[in-house]
Chain A
Amino acid sequence: MKPTAEMRWKTTRRRLLIGAGSLGVLGVGGYFGFKAAIPTLVDQIATESGGGSGPTQPLFWFAIDPKTGITLYVPKGEMGQAVQSVMAQLAAEELELEPMQLQIAFANSSQGFADLHGTFASSSTTSLYQPVRQAAANLREMLRSEAATQLGVPLSEVIVSRGTCFARTKPNKKLAFSQIVAAKKGEWVEPTTATLKSRQQFITIGKNTPRVDVPAKIIGEAQYGIQARAAGMLYGAVARAPRFGATLRSGNAGQAETMPGVKKVVIDVANNFAGVVADTRTRAKNALAKLQLEYTGGSNIGQTELESLVTARAGQGTVVRNIGNIGELNLEAAYRTPLAAHAHLEPLTALVSVTSNLIEAWVSTQSVALETAALEQQFGTNRKIIVYGMQMGGSFGRKGNQTAVLEAAMLSQAVGAPVHIAWTREEEMQHSFYRQPSHTVLRGNVDSNGKIISLEHTVASGDILTGSFDPAIISPILAVGYQIDPGIFTGLFSPYAMTNYRVHTRLVELPIPTGLWRGLGLFPHVFALESFTDELAHQTKQDPLEFRLNNLGADLQARRLKAVLEAVKIKSDWTTPNPRNTARGVACSFSSNTAVAMVVEVQVQNQIITVTRVSIAIDCGLVVNPNGAALQAKGSVVMGLSSTLIEKIVVENGAVQQKNFDDYPLLRLKQTPPRIDVHFVESDLDPQGMGEPVIGPVGAAVANAVFALTGQRLRELPLKLES
């Protein structure tokens, strides 16, 4: 029998120290298993299940120190999704504390329940909602039980409130949690099944409690990965190939070695690596520019060839869904989404110290597990390896791909000192991996009642999941049951009830690295699907929103989509006339078990599309922090609008043509609609995904509004009106 996750934790976790008298500190035990991490990650992305799993023994999660209080070790990376704050809310609820009474730290690869899943696929809150509350409740009962002993009263008499325990009859004699731990004698017993509060009893969950990370960020105290520091650290710069896939043929240090501040030049042709270490970043970069490096091979791909390769032909590719019999199809359209950059503002960074017995790394990463695995693979497992996750300045799928950590590690080993790597903006723009280009052909027909009868759906897409990872890591997983890129499935399937539906996908191998980008396939898929839904509605002269309602079935997903469409109909004033010179478009999507409907209002002047108002209705289950969730929704809209209206990476001669934000602009403040209204639909479900789902409908909602206003159907992103 395959062991369950819970069994694995029980059998493999280290027995941990507990506040046994003399120490007076309740410690955090370590659990870390990379080999378990990858299949979990792939499963999770493929099935879109956050998975409600994690150890519930309190000592994986919490430490109590009489001096610093209770620390919660959060196993997820913070990249702006407020995960630390949400985890504090979940724990505080069961511990009877204010979230701000908790100290929050990141679990790392040797301390805490470290990041089996990584921070991907909008899954943090979904997957940890149950285990964090359970662990907190278990800790509460541990403390309560010990308090009963110390107070000399029966357990039933002990009340827990605001970080203290006291006897019901003697409310003035309060024992702080830290006092209880300090006075504990002997071994603790960890309960595993303490009773959780019901939703009606929540005090903290569902409230707009303040962010726990922002006070330190507002005064410049918090450290992002780019600000990781170690005594004696130096700075690295690494050479990049001029074309995708080109390799180093020969190299000469030239004058670099004698330049001021230069500590080491590494030219390792066998490993296709050249880099410089210096005492400042500027000196490292200047010396790098003096290396005489010759590259060979690689790709000469240009934009025309790229688009030709990524072209779907109706009915070709692997069939991934096949219902009924596709008959006559009388409407056909094709949609294209280009390569795009993540453009997170803090670039990829890592600080690594390699010594003979210990490797320590401080990394901006979505996955401590993947960074650790990369170091294990490079350096073996004889040395202790500790990876610390740092605050991230954005990521959107970019961070977790191990490049910077290995570069810094190789340079650290060569120079014998800690080395920090921060990619430059130009490196990020030109040598990263990108959102996969995709092309979708849709063919369908509608009956006289406005019901979609048949849909044939063919997608050609660059790689989504496998390109982000070292092939040596991901290939064995793909070989076992994942012949199809698992990333393709996010947002792939049309949500409408149809008698006949067939979906073909084709993974296009490209010489350009492509991979994880917010929502994986979601944004390009929904742009195509929901634009086509609009075309079907217009073909049969129906209101596009009513057409969607009319075509949704009766299962739970369809009912949830209907509810958000009904809600957005009201919130957007859909049935009232458009303001002068504007028009509205609607789209909806379902991903990470969250339903989203969006209405966008646009204006056009001098062929420039301006979005003037966005209304969104969301069913993401229970909302733990409404302000935080709304902020993520609005952020998804802005990022989605940027992709819809502006962003496109272009390749020529095997290289990206854009270098910085002058030739790859992002949506700016003035281009952002001042009114983005977010409405959460009441839901009985536990929390579901929020980081990605809202980006789904943006492209189609805008394109549909542009069609309503101008009569031009734009089927390629970014949208450009013909003059």
Chain B
Amino acid sequence: MQLNLNGKNIEIAEDLRDEPLIWTLHDRLQLNGSRYGCGAGWCGSCTVILDGKATRSCQTKTSQAVGKSLITLEGLANGDKLHPVQQAFLENPLQCCYCMTGHIMTAVVLLENTANPSSVQIDAAMDANLCRCGGYNNIRQNVARASEIARGAT
């Protein structure tokens, strides 16, 4: 079984077909960007980008990612250059940053589809991700800021 992970094809053991994708990434591939929060799709911490869609990796079997483009937090930066969304969250971080992967991945997809989102569009896109430390206003600011960086409107 092969995954296209962050632009590279990697071989995965067949017995992981039914394993939730989050645990394949987290335990087998040891990717620390994966974040388990609820295991039921409610919190959004485990969000990855699967064929361009923000996807809950805890609700996705590993085999469902086969033949698709899978992007994780580790695949966003271009060498040392952070993705604009990462850059925005680095400048204005959350507290514990555990849920941050989910916010970043969700925001990346939002900005790919809507380069200059309104505050209403930002709220709508980001509302499904929980942050127990309560950094929601930073998240709102960071998505708007990332859009500015990406559009060169700094």
Contact = CB atoms under 8 A, between A and B. Distances in A.
B140 A80 contact: no
B74 to A, nearest CB: 5
B139 interface: yes
B77 A211 contact: no
Interface string A389-405: 00111101000000000
A224 B98 contact: yes
The 4 closest A-B pairs by CB, nearest first: A638-B134, A393-B98, A220-B33, A80-B96
A219 interface: yes
B1 interface: no
A631 B86 contact: no
A661 interface: yes
Interface in A652-705: 660-662, 666-670, 672, 674, 676
A474 B49 CA distance: 47
B5 interface: no
Interface in B26-74: 26-27, 30-40, 42-43, 45, 72-74
Given A281-B27, A635-B135, A222 B32 contact: yes
Chain B: interface size category: 35 or more
B132 interface: yes
Interface in B75-108: 76-77, 82, 86, 89-90, 93-101, 104
Contacts of B26: 226-227
A275 interface: no
**B interface, over-half SS:** loop
A347 B130 CA distance: 14
Interface stretch (A1-9, A105-113, A338-346): A338-346
B95 A81 contact: yes
Given A345-B130, A346-B35, A80 B94 contact: yes
A555 interface: no
Contacts of B140: 669, 674
Contacts of B42: 660-662
Given A219-B86, A668-B127, A214 B32 contact: no
A672 B38 contact: no
Contact of B36 (A81, A226, A394): A226
B99 A217 contact: no
A639 B23 contact: no
A218 interface: yes
Contact of B138 (A424, A631, A636): A631
Nearest to A668: B127
Nearest to A663: B42
B27 A345 contact: no
14 contacts: A80-B94, A80-B98, A82-B95, A215-B90, A217-B100, A218-B97, A218-B100, A227-B32, A347-B36, A394-B98, A631-B138, A661-B38, A668-B127, A669-B123
A194 to B, nearest CB: 33
Contacts of B118: none
B147 interface: no
A218 B89 contact: yes
A634 B30 CA distance: 33
A223 interface: yes
A288 interface: no
Contacts of A666: 130, 132
Interface residues of A, number: 59
Interface string A191-225: 00000000000000000000101110111111110
B32 A281 contact: no
Given A661-B40, A666-B132, A667-B134, A345 B35 contact: yes
Given A218-B89, A660-B40, A669 B31 contact: no
A220 B31 contact: yes
Contacts of A631: 93-95, 135, 138
B90 A214 contact: yes
Given A79-B96, A219-B74, A219-B82, 17 more contacts: A80-B95, A218-B89, A218-B100, A220-B72, A222-B97, A345-B98, A345-B132, A422-B36, A425-B37, A425-B39, A425-B43, A631-B94, A638-B133, A642-B134, A666-B132, A668-B127, A669-B126
Given A635-B133, A669-B126, A282 B138 contact: no
B112 interface: no
Nearest to B42: A661
Interface of B: 15, 18-20, 23, 26-27, 30-40, 42-43, 45, 72-74, 76-77, 82, 86, 89-90, 93-101, 104, 119, 123-124, 126-140
A208 to B, nearest CB: 10
Contacts of B43: 345, 425, 661
A634 B137 contact: yes
A235 interface: yes
Contacts of B19: 280, 282
A723 B27 CA distance: 50
Contacts of B27: 235, 280-281
Given A345-B37, A660-B40, A281 B23 contact: yes
A572 interface: no
Contacts of A213: 97
Contacts of A211: 93
B5 to A, nearest CB: 13
Contacts of B35: 224, 345-346, 393
A632 interface: yes
A229 interface: yes
Contacts of A670: 123-124, 127
A545 interface: no
A643 to B, nearest CB: 11
